Structure 1
Amino acid sequence: MSLTAASLTLTGCFAEPSAHDAVRDFLVGWQSEDYELAAGRADGDPAVVRQALEAAKLDLDAASFRFRVTSLTREGDNTTAKFKAEVDLGENSPLWEYESTLPLHLVDGLWKVRWSQSVLHPQLKDGQRFAVRPDSQPRQKVLDRTGEALQRPGRLYVVGVTPSELGDQTSSVVKQLAAITRFAEDRLLSRVRSSPPGDFVQLATFGKDRYLDVQAKIAAIRPKVQVELQDQPVDPAPPRDIVGKVGALTPETEVKLGGPQRAGDSVGRNGLQKAYQNHLTGSTKTQVITLDLKTGEDVAVLKEWPGRPNGPVHTTIDTVTQTAADSAVLPTQAGTLVAVKASTGEILAIGTKDMSQVKDALGGKYPAGTAFSIVAADALVKAGVKPSQKLRCPSERTVGGAKFVQAAAQTQPVATFQEHFASGCVTALASLARRVKPEDLKRSAQAYGIGVTWQLPLKSFNGQMPDLVTDADKAKAIAGQSVEVSPLSMALIAAAVKSGTWHPPSLVTSPDRPDPAAEQAAAEPPAAVPVDPAVRSALFPMMRAGVTSSPAAQAGAGQVYGVAAAVPGQQLGWFVGWQGDVAIAVLTKNSDAASTAGRFFQALRNPQ
């Protein structure tokens, strides 16, 4: 029951003279910061009582006090009120709850609280004060699949003070520091006042560039303000967009986060650093203690919260594969290469050149072009179309009213389905639309993850196929003109053919889920889907034929499987395939995707 409710209940239980009004006025005054009201109901010097109540709030850096009366008992001229206190320690700190008593006695016919420091807390004695000691743990690392850090140490500049060294300049120093950091002056001041006097109180953290901007201003208030240098894992290694950047907490991000951060902590700006911010930083260990006013030494620990432990984020990224991906896309005008472990769906590498690893490689929505013929072949083979079936590849063809144009007309227009698959003849592939039902194409697409609900801790796109009704609809889908995919979704399609099972993608192996506030919360992964053995037997030689004379297979020893495709009118090129247990999708702009794939496989075989 709240203090107000308790007051109403107790009013009718005791005849005058009752201590009820004194209990009510004292606790309501304390709770509402009407210290004049509270002091009027105590038997001590009103100025001393007011100062003690106000100091308790400052010493605890408390956002609020709340009280609930649990009992009121009288023995002659003495009464004891028992109450429960709830203290909000602010800045996302824990709620401190404790039980205490108010001893009351009659003074000139009025009930008064018998004043002493123990009124504030049973263990607080005269000559002592409250203090709060926070202890933040260092930020943990994002790791690759072998446990190596995916970031390099970066230097942070931690600015703070030691309260005992400020003396009567506390307010002046804090005012100057607030102007530099833009943190609220009252918040910084309360942090200083609530801390043990001999502790270094961290008030703000700067990255190198921002610190250089304010260095001269901070130097003007040194040595009252100290600067500690900390090397923390904040500089991301490849894949940088995926790992994410880390910066110092600013007043703006402090408002947005609302998590366990305190002014001065580091904060993930994007990527996994942002998605797992709370896990990487944990929550602050906090102690409420009492201090000796004369010596400043600890007297007792009244309450301790260990805080939520932090830990590293373990990813599926393979550093050797990542290096190969980065080197492969470097010569392109713009491009991305996504590599996954075919047998599991684990993301091994995401290389980019002038494209985003998140917005393009994971979450991009691009036309699939004839690279989608891998999925279309699944439905066509099941419908009875054989790889050896002869088909024409004219320069133009109309299917159900939809016109298809082959950019480079073949000199031998009649060839097998396998040969047209390998060369990406759009007019030949579109002609097969009448051989398959709309629902069968849709079913094959879903079996390879297109449109299936799967999520990663970072935003991603699982592909989309429109509703199929007419022959024209089917022909556009087979040619990949109406299907949108991401490079990640295409890499998973290649992985499914290689391994015999479509697996949903995974990027993080531990912890199980990102922070609740992450932009893309993880969902339960969909089930793996086996590939029809007959389809797989047909696709292997078809995808081997797709690279027989391709730059993707000319980079060295070992068999490469895949298919290359161009997206007319957009200067986009695809290569989708695999070598060994590494499946890839390459998307380039104004560059040869197959050559990029070849450089990747060569670099992977001959790592630097």
Structure 2
Amino acid sequence: MTRARRTLAAAVTLAVASMTLTGCFEESSPHDAVRDFLVGWQSEDYALAAGRTDGDPATVGKALANAKLELDAASFRFRIKSVSVNGDESKADFRAEVDLGENTPLWEYDGSLPLHLVDGRWKVRWSPSVLHPQLKEGQRFAVETNPKPRQPVVDRSGDALQNELYVYVVGVVPSQLGDRAEDVVAKLSLITGYAKDRLLSRIRSSPPDKFVPLVTFGRSRYLSMKPKLAGISGIQTDPQPQPIDPADPKQIVGKVSALTPEDEQKLGGPQRAGDSVGQSGLQQAYQDYLTGSTETKVITLDLKTGRQVAKLREWPGRQNVSVKTTIDSRTQAAAERAVAETETSALVAVQRDTGEILAVGTSGLNQEKDALAGRFPAGTAFSIVAADALIKSGVSTRQRLACPAERTVGGAKFVHTSQTAGSAASATFQENFAKGCVTALASLARRVSAGSLATSAKSFGIGQSWRLPLKSFSGGLPELSSDADKARAIAGQNVEVSPLSMALVAAAVGSGTWRPPVLVTDPKSPDPAAEIAPAPQPPPVAMDPKVRTALTAMMRAGATGSPAQAGRGRVYGVRATAGSQDKPMTWFVGWQGDVAIAVLAKNYDAAAVAGSFFSGLRDQS
């Protein structure tokens, strides 16, 4: 919960508390003094609160205001537990809730207000113990924090998927500033844009002899700011290495930046959990895990010596942890080299038997928005799914089908532009599948029902609600209400898929079971504060063994003689075309060994990218 949201909640609580107290308490009783003092303290109307004490109004008001600064508190809230009266003396017990800001639990404690009659009016007997039972004269509050360094995102072997870069933490040692703290933060606020009151609160709330981090800069920003920072006496800079420079797959790992003034407003001020903020990818999705929460202590200090007197409360903080992904750096390197040969392409590789994402490589496309979550026409790559439905409906892989250059099915026109179109001899269903003859495949629309196509699509994960920590798209099949709709679906013209969803289709045929994708194995959920277990993944779906045998042979034929079959080892797959004439795209969907892939390329042969990938993977073995 952010500081801003907590403050709003406190304001609402205050309004309710005010009405409750006003409605319940009678005049000429200690309740009036208790109500006004706590409501004034909570609402920062310190004059109202001070007027209900027997202390000097200026002294009391300053003590209340200082308590908020010394704790760097977003808000105070109070609940009266009891009020007792014994002649001219009274005592009120209350429960306090202090919001210490982002990433820190509420500090709750019990306090007491001693009251007595002064000239016929009930007054709170003022002393520092009114603020907290353990606070005494000559003491003040302070908050001591111990932030933890950011943890890395790692691959399946535990190796970091980012390199260390230095960030520059600018701060002060309060005891070295003397009475210049306000002047220092005013100058720092002016050149950085950070809120002056937040910077000052952080200084005032810290032990005087500890370095207090105020602002964190990346290297380029720090170098540009360095001359201005040098002009502020008392400012110190602490260079700190942090794992923030992403390695491949860069967009999946994500960017990290130093906290900006905009982040400060959004997150509620300089974060005690570390001044690095994930901006994209897994760094953003798992921000709270990677930074954890800060070890925090509320203490009292002696005003003269600055030494700790008492520890009022301590929170060990949530330990930050690395995020373990399924990315295989060797496979990722092969993917990067393969797509580098193209201007626009995406390659997603998954482990055939688990659905774990091994690599995401792109050129000219975004790894998350396009490779995982893109919505692209499936084209004849969808014939893998359609073949499942057709074979189950009784279509033999040996059935002969003509492959004319053009064909109309149910009023929908299909055009096959390959040189093999219009051949005199009819080819088998398997041969037409292998060469991607759209006119032959579309002619089978009347041999299969819309329900069968929809069932097969679902069994291959198309349209399933799987769960990934990043954006993803499982594919979409529209309602099929006619032969034309079914023919378009078989040809993949009205079906949208992502490279990820098609890699999982390949893995399903290769392994015999469709499985949902997995990108992160630990932690199990991006939200460490989640009270409800994340929604379960769709269950694995086993293929019909006979259909799998037929599809395996069809995909072996589809890869044979293609650029995907480069070097040694058997490759299984299908080459496909998709898109329009002005925006043509090609697909290769298949597998070799235990690695299944989908490649989408524009103005390039996706099968050639697949061949380069498989060769590169073998060369690293």
Normalising by the smaller structure, the TM-score range is over 0.9
- 1:139 matched to 2:150? The reply is yes
Mapped contact 2:338–2:612 kept (Cα < 8 A)? yes
Give, as a single letter, the amino acid of the residue that structure 2 aligns with 1:547: A
Instruction: Tell which deviates more after alignment, 260-269 or 144-153.
Output: 260-269
Q: Alignment partner for residue 403 of structure 1, among 413, 427, 446?
A: 413
Q: CA deviation at 1:438?
A: 1.4
Does residue 507 (structure 1) correspond to residue 519 (structure 2)? The answer is yes
User: Which stretch of the first structure deviates more once superposed, 198-207 or 404-413?
Assistant: 404-413
How many Å separate the matches in 2 of 1:606 and 1:96?
59
1:443 aligns with 2:443: no
Q: Report the alpha carbon displacement of residue 228 of structure 1 after superposing the two structures with TM.
A: 0.7
Answering whether residue 71 of structure 2 is matched by residue 71 of structure 1, we say no
Specify whether residues 211 and 572 from structure 1 end up closer, same or farther in structure 2 by C-alpha distance, changes over 3 A only.
same
Deviation of the 1:260 alpha carbon: 9.6
Q: How does 1:111-126 map to 2 (within 5 A)?
A: 111-126=122-137
Query: How far off its partner does 1:178 sit?
Result: 0.6
- Measured after TM superposition, the shift of residue 262 of structure 1 is 4.4
* Alignment equivalent of 2:180, drawn from 144, 149, 169: 169
User: Structure 1 pair 517/93, CA: closer, same or farther in 2 (3 Å)?
Assistant: closer
Q: Structure 1 258/340 Cα, relative in aligned 2: closer, same or farther at 3 Å?
A: farther
Does structure 2 retain, via aligned residues, the 8 Å contact 1:159–1:203? Answer: yes
Distance 2:506 2:48 in 1: 76
Farther off after superposition, 87-96 or 373-382:
87-96
Q: Secondary structure of the equivalent of 2:546? A: helix
Other structure's SS at 1:267 match: strand
1:387–1:36 distance in 2 versus 1, CA, 3 Å: closer
Q: What secondary structure sits across from 1:291 in the alignment?
A: strand
**Residue in structure 2 matching 1:352, options 355, 362, 369:** 362
- After TM superposition, the structure 1 stretch with the greater mean CA deviation from structure 2, 190-199 or 20-29, is 20-29
Q: Secondary structure at the match of 1:67?
A: strand
Task: Tell me which amino acid in the other structure corresponds to 2:570.
Answer: Q
Greater shift, 31-40 or 263-272, is seen at 31-40
Segment drifting more, 205-214 vs 149-158? 205-214
Check if 1:44 corresponds to 2:59.
no
1:474 aligns with 2:486: yes
1:196, distance to aligned residue in structure 2 (A) = 1.0
In 1, the alpha carbon distance for the partners of 2:534 and 2:606 equals 31
Matched, 1:607 2:620: yes
Change (3 A) 1:59 1:261: closer
Match of 2:245 in 1: 235
Structure 2 distance, partners of 1:26, 1:8, is 16
| Corresponding residue SS for 2:243 | strand
Does residue 9 of the first structure (1) align with residue 24 of the second (2)? Answer: yes
CA drift of 1:102 comes to 1.9
Q: Secondary structure at the match of 1:599?
A: helix
1:120: how far off? 1.5
Separation in 2 of the partners of 1:502 and 1:372?
Answer: 15
CA contact (8 A) 2:164 2:243 kept: yes
The change in CA–CA distance for 1:593 and 1:24 in structure 2 (over 3 A counts) is closer
Q: What is the distance in 2 between the residues matched to 1:446 and 1:25?
A: 64
Amino acid at match of 1:395: A
> After alignment, is 212-221 or 45-54 more displaced?
45-54
In the alignment, which residue of structure 2 is the partner of 1:589?
A: 602
Query: 2:108 maps to what in 1?
Result: 97
Aligned position for 1:187: 198
CA distance in 1, matches of 2:273, 2:315: 19
Q: State percent identity of aligned pairs.
A: 64
**C-alpha displacement at 1:75, in angstroms?**
3.2
Mapped contact 1:496–1:503 kept (Cα < 8 A) = yes
- Post-superposition Cα deviations, 1:320-369, rounded to whole Å, max 9, x if no partner, equal 11011111111112111100011011111001111110111111111111
Q: Assess, with a 3 A threshold, how the Cα gap between structure 1 residues 76 and 330 changes in structure 2: closer, same or farther.
A: same
Taking the aligned partners of 1:91 and 1:271, their CA distance within structure 2 comes to 22
Contact 1:135 1:285 in 2 (8 A): yes
Q: Does 1:462 align with 2:463?
A: no
Structure 2 residue identity aligned to 1:487: P
Instruction: Kindly indicate whether the alpha-carbon contact (under 8 Å) linking 1:245 and 1:271 is maintained by their aligned counterparts in 2.
Output: yes
- Residue pair 1:250, 1:263 contacting (<8 A) in 2 also: no
TM-score, normalised by the number of residues in structure 1 = 0.94
Find the aligned partners of 2:618 and 2:47 in 1 and give their Cα distance: 80
Q: CA, structure 1 residues 21+434, in 2 after alignment: closer, same or farther (shift >3 Å)?
A: closer
Partner Cα separation in structure 1 for residue 135 and residue 609 of structure 2:
71
Deviating more after overlay: 208-217 vs 62-71: 62-71
User: Structure 2: how far apart are the matches of 1:584 and 1:147?
Assistant: 23
Matched-pair contact (CA < 8 Å) for 2:273–2:293: no
Deviations along 1:268-308, one digit per CA (max 9) or x if unpaired, are 10001111111211222221110010110111111112222
CA distance in 2, matches of 1:47, 1:487: 68
Q: Which runs of 5+ in 2 are unaligned?
A: 1-15
Query: Where does residue 421 of structure 1 map in the other structure?
Result: 433
SS at structure 2 position matched to 1:167:
coil
* 8 Å CA contact retained: 2:214, 2:270: no
Write the distance in 1 (CA, Å) between the matches of 2:543 and 2:330: 29
Secondary structure of the residue aligned to 2:90 is strand
Q: CA deviation at 1:92?
A: 5.2
Which residue pairs with 2:538 in the alignment? Answer: 526
Distance in 2 (CA, whole Å) between partners of 1:516 and 1:590 is: 44
Check whether the contact 2:274–2:291 (CA below 8 A) recurs between aligned residues.
no
Separation of aligned partners in 2, 1:603 and 1:530:
31
Q: Compared with structure 1, are the counterparts of its residues 434 and 297 closer, same or farther at alpha carbon in structure 2 (3 Å cutoff)?
A: same
Alignment correspondent of 1:340: 350
Matches for 1:267-416 after TM superposition, within 5 Å: 267-410=277-420, 411=423, 413-416=425-428
Letter in 2 for 1:287: K
Matched, 1:35 2:46: yes
The reply on whether 1:565 has 2:576 as its aligned counterpart is: yes
Quick check: 2:288–2:528 contact (8 Å CA) kept in 1? no
Contact preservation (8 Å) 1:237, 1:243: yes
Paired residues of 2:89 and 2:117 also in contact (CA < 8 A): yes
The offset of 1:247, in angstroms, is 0.3
Unaligned runs of 5+ in 1: none
Task: Please point out which of 555, 560, 567 is paired with 1:543.
Answer: 555
Distance in structure 2 (CA, Å) of the matches to 1:258 and 1:375? 50
CA shift digits 1:499-530 (9 cap, x unpaired): 00000111111111123899xx9642101111
CA distance in 2, matches of 1:40, 1:115: 11
Aligned partner of residue 457 in structure 1, secondary structure = coil
User: Which amino acid letter does the alignment assign opposite residue 20 of structure 2?
Assistant: A
Aligned AA (1:424): G
Deviation of 1:168 (Å): 1.8
**442 and 65 in structure 1: CA distance in 2 versus 1, 3 angstrom threshold:** closer
Match of residue 167 from structure 2: 156
Q: Distance in 2 between matches of 1:22 and 1:376?
A: 79
Q: Verify: 1:254 aligned to 2:267, yes or no.
A: no
